[in-house]
Structures are given as C-alpha cells and as structure tokens.
Amino acid sequence: MRTVTKWTDCARRVAGSLCVRTSETVCSICDAEKNLSAIGDQFDSGECDRLDASAYSVMDMVALSWARLGWGRFLQGDNLAASQFLDAAWQLSHSGTVANRLARVYEKTGARDRAQHMYALAAVAGGIAAQNSREQVIKMNPATADKALALANSELQKMRAIVLPTLSAKTSAARFILMFDNSSSADRVQFLDGDEALQNQTDALQKADFSIKFPDVSSIRIILVGAVSCASSGCRFEIQPLNSMQQGGVPQLAGTRNQ
C-alpha cells in the first residue's frame, strides 16, 4: 500500500468520485494521469516530435498508462471511461492482458457478444491471461467458441499487418516510422532503412487506415514502427510490437491482486 504522501490534489479529486475501493486504485489513476500529462508536454515542446527510436519508446508508457487508467476507472464503476482507455491501450499494445480487462468491462455492462469477442482476442494474443480468456470464451457460449477464436485470430493478424497497394515490382523491404495525431491515418511518415526502391513510398502509408484509438483529446501522438515488405503476392506493412511486448512484458494494472 502506498503512503498517504502520495495523495496529491489529483488523488483527492479522484477520491471524491463514487465507488473508490482502495488508495492503491486512486494512486494508480493519478500516476497514470501524471505520466500522460508529462508525455503530452513532451509532445507540445517538440521533445517527442522527432520520429526516432527515443520517441517510439515512449509508446510503452502511453499504452501502460492508458491501461492502468482504464482499469482504475473500471474499479471505480466508470465503465464508459474504462472501455475508452482500455480499448486505446489494446489497439496500441495488442496485449492479451489488456484485452482480457476490456472483455471484463464489456461483460460487466451486459455486452456479452462484445465480451466474448474480446476474450477471444485476448486468448489468441497470448500472455498470462490467455488460458483464462479461452475458458471465458467457451463459458459464455460453447456453441460459438471455436468460431469466435478463429475469427479473432484472423482479426488480430489484420491489425498487425496492413495490406498496401503494389509499391514495387520486385521483392523488397524497408522500415518506416509513423506518427498519428488524433486520427487513424498517419500524419507523418519517415523512411528508416531498407531498400531504397521503397524510400519514396510514404504516400501509401499515409493513406492507409490503422486500428488506432485515442481515448480523449490531448497532445499525445501515437508513434508506430514497422516494415513494408513487397513480393509477387503484393505489399503489406507489418507493425513492430512495442518494446515491452517484444520482451514478453505484461502491463501491471491497478487492483489486479484481488480481482
């Protein structure tokens, strides 16, 4: 349990809302809000506006803070805010743990079809919640469980790999970094490395539609890194997992010990 010294003005404001369970939840919400505010300031100042590895690494904290804020709001009974922040965290991180939490929000609100769908996505995304998620898919509707899992697997692959028009007649590959500003289409695209034949093909990436959600209006941008690969079958952009997901990391969400 964190000490009372962590109860800032933010904590007192959050504590004034209904259904606060523990000071841990309050502090987790306030820490997440503080982190997001600091990151927004970095984008405003231009510090994170550079399309480089340093700016991309900030996305781990964005996804984690959105996830913690969403889960904290769920524990307080604010299901709308919970679903918005958890959905944004899921779209950015593709974390099975976050998807499982979002499914629980949908289940709590009675949206059983959406809950089963998110449990299925959580199951195929993997992670420590994968087995529980698979069990929930079966429990909610045994007759449609196999189909739900198959559809979820296909959907997850489409989220991770965006189909592009033919950009090169020969087999080629290159990495790009993209920035999104409250939109599902990239505002900026920059070539990183790879085949020079693809270096000037940024327009196709800017026209593509990505599975990206912003939970609220803020100064935070989303930055993605990925690789364009072209072959005889066509071209696609495969999104690179966040650093934390590559390392097998799992977001530590507020109040999970007793849930």
Q: For residue range 108-144, what is the model confidence (pLDDT) as tens digits? A: 999 999 999 999 999 999 999 999 999 999 999 999 9
Residue 257 inside a domain? The answer is no
**Residue 32, both tokens:** 């997440």
Alpha carbons 91 and 63: distance in angstroms, whole number: 9
Residue 257, beta-bridge partner list: none
Q: Give the global pTM.
A: 0.85
The token pair that represents 117 in the structure block: 């769908």
Confidence of residue 102 (pLDDT cuts 50, 70, 90): very high
Domain range enclosing 215: 161-244
Choosing from 159, 178, 199, the residue where a domain stops is: 159
CATH of the domain at 132: 1.25.40.10
Between helices 112-125 and 130-140, what is the axis angle to 10°?
Answer: 150
Q: What is the pLDDT of residues 23-49, one digit of tens each?
A: 778 888 999 999 999 999 999 988 877
How many helices (H) and strands (E) the chain has is answered by 10, 5
Clarify whether residues 27 and 151 are in a common domain.
yes
Residues 107 and 155 in one domain: yes
> Which residue, of 101, 128, 159, is where some domain finishes?
159
- The long-range contacts involving 27-30, CB below 8 angstroms and separated by at least 24 positions, are 27/2, 28/68, 28/71, 28/72, 28/253, 28/254, 28/255, 29/68, 29/69, 29/72, 29/73, 29/76, 29/254, 30/6
Tally the domains of the chain. Answer: 2
Residues 6+ apart with CB under 8 A from 163: 234, 235, 236
The answer to whether position 14 is within a domain reads yes
Binned at pLDDT 50, 70 and 90, residue 13 comes out as very low
φ, ψ (nearest 5 deg) of residue 37: -65, -40
